[in-house]
Structure 1
Amino acid sequence: MPPARLSNRYFLVRAGESEFESSGVINTNPVSKTSVDSGLSDKGKKQSLRAAFLLKEMEACDSNCWIWPSITQRAYQAAEIIASVNGISRSYIVPEYSFLDARGLGAYEGKKMEDISEIYASDNLSPSIKPPPIDDGTPNESVADVFVRVTQLMSILETQYSEDTVVIVSPDSDNLSVLQAGLVGLDLRRHNELYFAPGEVRFVDPSSIPTYKRPASAVYKCLNPPKCVIKGL
């Protein structure tokens, strides 16, 4: 589990749309994560640029920050855009090689993006349900599997830094929605209610984590408007 109180400031960013996503195709096989088609589409570049300027408006990196992107092509490209707009040296970009991989969706690999709704329906039943397996090397990860990965990442960040700012850049929504659900105490089965759109930016408020309890029937709201939750294009 993440620590009850975080010692660092965290901003969660979903990279902009990839070429695969622009074609409406699910692609989560880690073998292709550095391929050109896993990179940002033209729309994704604009979304990532907007995210970079939103971080600037939020003063995320005014006193410097560390940028932790997945090594996945689109996430790393988004990190470079964020660094450029915010005046951050490339030496402060720390590529993450496994904990921030896009959630492996097994037999859904290559299917249409809208089919992800079937996966979320299973997630709503149990965080331990995995997508059906496939033999092409694509992992089939449950919500619980993703939670293990992102909490390991948080443990590393909390150990490595203290009172710093860290911008986490993920290639997909599930890494971030599962992480945020864990931090605010939301049932992991409902992580998709915290869905991140491509290019979306959210600030994690450490002081809110120990006491915040999400009402069962409430719509997710920003705890510190207007800067806590900002959506991209």
Structure 2
Amino acid sequence: MPPFRLSNRYFLVRAGESEYESLGVINTNPVAKTSVDNGLSNQGKKQTIKSALALKAMGACEGNCWIWPSITQRAYQAAEIIAAVNGIGRSHIVPEYSFLDARGLGAYEGKNLDSVSEVYEQDSLSPNIKPPPIDDGTPNESVSDVFVRVTQLMSILETQYSEDTVIIVSPDSDNLSILQAGLVGLDLRRHKDLYFGPGEVRFIDTTSIPTYKQPASAIYKCLNPPSCT
């Protein structure tokens, strides 16, 4: 997939650490996204202030600037901090209600954050593999599922604005790593290579495809089909 041509400038920001994340717990059920426990931890607030200062140093909002955060508590709190530091009025904060929800991890809900590595192992095999389902209402989304909704978001932004700056604030890394992979034409199975740490900020340059080590599934070749060893 060739890189997209965009009419706006985009900065991607992962919100700082949440209270759940500070406890090492996976929480992706959208029912709880506006709860206080999904807000920024003390460490998350410090990370977000650094994000806001980084955006200011990059000149992100020197022109017409819009901030699009997930309505998830920590992402919206991050947007307010970014706006305050960069002199952006609240009318330029546009809450996003569904396309930027944290990736639903199904049966991993409530488990230790370290178990996300198991999800990423499956992602590296195919963008269509979903985490196991659960019956508490938490979605179980594949990489492809996330890609569909972040692509829909980009379509809205490209239609609504022209030659503006848009800061996208996500509660998690996967929305952003999958979006960036799609924008620069990187194999979606490799989205983990573009992982965003809490509070990380990135300007999207669609003309530059990062060089990362390909996962084994991407470089394996069968030299003697159908007999492969």
The TM-score with structure 2 as length reference comes to 0.90
1:186 Cα shift?
0.9
CA distance 1:94–1:2, shift in 2 (3 Å): farther
> Which runs of at least 4 in structure 1 moved beyond 3 Å after TM superposition?
212-218
Stretch of structure 1 that moved more, 61-70 or 88-97: 61-70
| Structure-1 separation of matches of 2:58 and 2:212 | 30
1:200 aligned residue: 200
| Structure-2 separation of matches of 1:3 and 1:186 | 9
1:63 aligns with 2:59: no
Give me the CA root mean square deviation: 1.5
2:108 aligned residue: 108
| Structure-2 separation of matches of 1:213 and 1:111 | 33
Secondary structure in structure 2 of the residue aligned to 1:91 = helix
One-letter amino acid matched to 2:109: E
Question: Any conservation in 1 of the 2:2–2:184 contact (CA below 8 Å)?
Answer: no
Question: Any conservation in 1 of the 2:68–2:168 contact (CA below 8 Å)?
Answer: yes
1:223 aligned residue: none
| Structure-1 separation of matches of 2:3 and 2:193 | 23
Secondary structure in structure 2 of the residue aligned to 1:125 = coil
1:33 aligned residue: 33
The unaligned stretches of length 5 or more in structure 1 are 219-233
| Structure-2 separation of matches of 1:107 and 1:180 | 26
Q: How many pairs does the alignment contain?
A: 214
2:42 aligned residue: 42
Secondary structure in structure 1 of the residue aligned to 2:156 = helix
Question: Any conservation in 1 of the 2:35–2:73 contact (CA below 8 Å)?
Answer: yes
Secondary structure in structure 1 of the residue aligned to 2:145 = helix
| Structure-1 separation of matches of 2:212 and 2:112 | 31
1:13 aligned residue: 13
1:217 Cα shift?
3.7
1:224 aligned residue: none
One-letter amino acid matched to 1:169: V
2:169 aligned residue: 169
The TM-score with structure 1 as length reference comes to 0.89
1:205 Cα shift?
1.9
1:188 Cα shift?
0.4
Secondary structure in structure 2 of the residue aligned to 1:97 = coil
- Which is greater in Rg? 2
One-letter amino acid matched to 1:28: T
2:4 aligned residue: 4
The unaligned stretches of length 5 or more in structure 2 are 215-229
Secondary structure in structure 2 of the residue aligned to 1:168 = strand
2:136 aligned residue: 136
| Structure-1 separation of matches of 2:55 and 2:126 | 34
1:53 aligns with 2:53: yes
| Structure-1 separation of matches of 2:210 and 2:135 | 39
Q: Deviations over 1:18-63 (max 9, x none)?
A: 0000000000000000000000000000000100000000000012
**Seq. identity, %:** 79
Q: Deviations over 1:160-190 (max 9, x none)?
A: 0000000000000000000000011111011
Secondary structure in structure 2 of the residue aligned to 1:59 = coil
1:180 aligns with 2:180: yes
Q: Deviations over 1:49-90 (max 9, x none)?
A: 100000000000012300000000000000000000000000
| Structure-2 separation of matches of 1:216 and 1:77 | 32
1:118 aligns with 2:118: yes
1:215 Cα shift?
4.8
